[in-house]
């Protein structure tokens, strides 16, 4: 068939690992970008149990993968496994992108924080509240703090929030929260299935804020947090917007080519997940 894509021995491989990973729209996004630029690359999603993470990373290097993206719950563990880390990944103690170097060495990078900032655009004020204390939260706090934002962290486990805040120059607050600054970032999986229940604040706290939800639903519908934000007149930045910006940065790291962002955005928005 004319125009049919062929995958052969010279095809470069990349992918995303997580547990679970079936909801990921990264394959559609990256493969659309490869096709647009005529690159002989292929990108796949692979579920990896936490106990087999290092085997998966080392195995991908042995198989000749160019790189992997990493999602929940592997980001902090991946940073500990990598042979070297970018300054941003070291500061966040989190890696969502791994480059396979000569000799099978693994270099951990993070596109979480910068991808979030790119998706938000102009920051709405001097303060931000970050919900969560995992790998995505660490990257978000580090990026915001490095941008000069005063960051407050709230997590279900107060000790985890306090440790993150202490290490990254933020401050910890209670869960649930009673107040919020101009920007709210959800870096927890809460709402990924579509429910806003469980998020640690009343809906009225969203009024006049910018709300960024790093989670996204597999069916592409709005998360409960983004839906609630829009109902309250807040500006919502959803996880698919962030995914595109993170993906564009990873695409550049993997291929060295300039990412076709609008193609990637359309592929993410229009993807059909089985």
- 75 catalytic per annotation: yes
139 close to 130: Cβ distance less than 8 angstroms: no
Query: Between 135-146 and 112-120, two packed helices, what is the crossing angle to 10 degrees?
Result: 60
- Which residues on neighbouring strands pair with residue 183, listed in sequence order? 128, 210
Residue among 221, 220, 215 nearest 246 (CA) = 215
- Which residue spans within 89-240 are E strands per DSSP? 97-100, 106-109, 127-131, 150-154, 171-172, 183-186, 210-213, 235-237
Biggest alpha carbon distance in the chain?
60
Q: Which one of 25, 30, 74, 75 is the catalytic residue?
A: 75
DSSP secondary structure of 156-175: SSHHHHHHHHHHHT-EE--S
Q: CA angle 218-53-160, nearest 5°?
A: 75
Show which residues are catalytic.
75
């Amino acid at each position: 068939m004319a125009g049919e894509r062929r995958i052969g021995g010279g095809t470069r491989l990349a992918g995303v690992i997580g547990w679970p990973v079936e909801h990921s729209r990264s394959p559609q996004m990256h493969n659309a970008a490869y096709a647009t630029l005529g690159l002989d690359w292929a990108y796949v999603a692979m579920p990896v149990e936490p106990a087999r993470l290092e085997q998966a990373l080392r195995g991908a290097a042995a198989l000749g993968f160019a790189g992997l993206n990493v999602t929940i719950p592997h980001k902090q563990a991946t940073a500990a496994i990598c042979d070297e880390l970018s300054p941003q990944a070291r500061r966040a103690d989190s890696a969502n992108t791994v480059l396979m170097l000569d000799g099978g060495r693994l270099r951990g990078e993070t596109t979480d924080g910068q991808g979030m900032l790119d998706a938000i655009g102009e920051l709405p004020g001097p303060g931000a509240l970050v919900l969560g204390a995992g790998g995505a939260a660490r990257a978000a706090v580090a990026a915001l703090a490095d941008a000069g934002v005063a960051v407050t962290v709230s997590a279900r486990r107060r000790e985890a929030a306090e440790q993150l805040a202490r290490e990254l120059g933020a401050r910890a607050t209670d869960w649930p929260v009673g107040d919020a600054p101009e920007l709210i970032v959800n870096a927890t999986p809460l709402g990924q299935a579509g429910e806003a229940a469980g998020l640690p604040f009343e809906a009225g706290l969203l009024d006049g804020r910018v709300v960024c939800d790093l989670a996204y639903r597999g069916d592409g519908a709005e998360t409960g947090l983004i839906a609630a934000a829009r109902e309250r007149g807040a500006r919502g930045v959803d996880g698919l917007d962030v995914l595109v910006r993170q993906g564009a940065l990873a695409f550049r790291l993997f291929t060295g080519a300039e990412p076709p962002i609008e193609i990637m955005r359309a592929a993410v928005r229009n993807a059909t997940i089985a």
